[in-house]
Structure 1
């Protein structure tokens, strides 16, 4: 029989030997019907913080119009600057004023040189010289992407202060460009104050020099990107807005008439209309239409003063145009 003292020592020694011979890097053996599960010592990644989407600009709407911008423009151009023959110093002052207005609204502004021949403007001889288009584009604008063009001529015949013809059109352009700035439209919009629209002779080729120059400068991809042009010309007289087109069924004319119905603005089609800057686009295969053309007593005369222009009509035209530009 073994002595009790030796047995008591042998058992702990055996256990110690087994513990020392085990590989600490190996997991303990699992039962054959349960696969081993590896334990990762890498901490679980924390959930990434949620990224808030950038807020989209508010869609533009007719109620965004501030008609006082239009009436103030009429008072300044016709009441302070006065007659703005396309190649004269008064036109240059008016172009500077409009360019600064566009810049304050947040647009990139550029000018296009327009060479104008000598001729006769509504009975007054005028010399050859240089005019300009003032072009306002949204920041980051790509002219090869689909866009719209909205414009109005800035010049007058030599004897007229040009309140209705065409400070009214320029005024609504500036009011609409102010409303559009920082808001979402159905397509990007280029705003233009055209030089040298008024005639210097009897034919189409003695007319619309600024807008013809604008179209001529478009590269093929830029021309293809123009989805519609609207000219605002004599838009401050009357209670109904004429919507003119060079031919019946013009797509821009149809869409403007539809916008007028949505905005609750009375409007009538004015077919066969070629006597404004939209014609420079249409004659080159681009869609275009005109707003305005109601007859009035002071046309092309010294009587074309700010009192001729009606605030309510400027508002109708501005609301119609903003409805046309609004996303749908």
Structure 2
């Protein structure tokens, strides 16, 4: 029997959203207006997120029911796609638009009760998909559950927040950030098998032709981990281009690996169709794998609007976002 989704009264009221390719859900033709997060001149590597919202009282973790594959609400993911790609639009990693996107994501995670920090990332000038981009600073938005101990075993769920300069980035990668937020929302009131860290990475998109001209945010995140913190990462999944198609690609940096196999098993439990994808190194999981940490990717179905002005919310399928959310929740769930 499928469990109903939990009403999170302590989050405050929120409107429903128009769903893409998903029936049976309510819609809101007038989403709230975008709010702009202030730019920061703070030189610290990591800074706390600032929010004017009241800090929610975290639930008693030991009293929570276990997370279930049915718990993530796809409407949360769709709302994020509409906000990031439909309202904010192109968000190159060092741009004011990226800062607004990071502020919005940080605010959403803060309202869910997570401890949120922005980890500043220096990135060089370069060329991103044919467009010159300046040197500057980007940021990772890192959300940890209350009482999190980074040297204790945990899992990481990541999705890059930036786009190439010419693309609104609905599929690449508002879709991944949307699923991250939907799963984080569900996990905030459920128990998981290990604590989960949720990271919206900055500066994933290329700024040059080589492997080292890519994935700046996730490489910085890994580089900042000490030996005990690295040993504590028991698995990382990168959500990257997860809203197109009717099967979910499950990517491994090699032919196969334990995280990929665990995600495939989670998909079977969740009833989500998948396709195994070997040799997959073009997302933020690769920053973990190349450093000797376990990681895999969900997503990468080809689509016409890739890295173009055509990457708009209409290309994203709500049904596919729901499949991916089910897989990630089943991977995180106690079993």
Same fold (TM over 0.5): yes
User: What is the aligned partner in structure 1 of residue 43 from structure 2?
Assistant: none
Equivalent residue, structure 2, for 1:295: 302
Summarize deviations over 1:157-192 as a string: whole Å, max 9, x none.
Answer: 000000000000000000000000021101000000
Partners of 1:147 and 1:204 in 2: how far apart?
27
Higher Cα Rg: structure 1 or 2?
A: 1
1-structure distance, mates of 2:144, 2:274: 28
Aligned pair partner of 1:164 in 171, 174, 182:
171
Q: Secondary structure at the match of 1:133?
A: strand
Say whether residues 1:240 and 2:247 are aligned partners.
Answer: yes
Give the match for residue 186 of structure 1: 193
- Name the CA distance, whole Å, in 2 between partners of 1:243 and 1:249: 10
State the number of aligned residues: 276
Task: Return the match for 2:89 from 82, 96, 99.
Answer: 82
TM-score (norm 1): 0.83
Matches within 5 A, 1:1-328: 56-328=63-335
Deviations 1:89-112 (Å, cap 9, x if unpaired)? 000000000000000000000011
In structure 1, distance between residues paired with 2:86 and 2:269 = 34
* d(CA) in 2 for partners of 1:261, 1:252: 14
Is the contact between residue 151 and residue 232 of structure 2 (CA under 8 Å) also seen in structure 1?
A: yes
Give the CA deviation at 1:55: 5.9
- RMSD (CA atoms): 1.1
Give me the whole-angstrom Cα distance separating, in 2, the residues matched to 1:70 and 1:183.
18
Task: Report SS of the residue matched to 1:280.
Answer: helix
CA deviation vs aligned residue, 1:232-279 (integer Å, no higher than 9, x gap): 000000000000010123100000001111111001110000000000
> Structure 1: which 4+ aligned runs deviate by more than 4 Å?
none
Structure 1 residues 279 and 55: CA distance shift in structure 2, 3 A? closer
Deviations 1:274-300 (A, max 9, x none): 000000000000000000000000000
The SS at the match of 2:147 is coil
Q: CA, structure 1 residues 203+182, in 2 after alignment: closer, same or farther (shift >3 Å)?
A: same
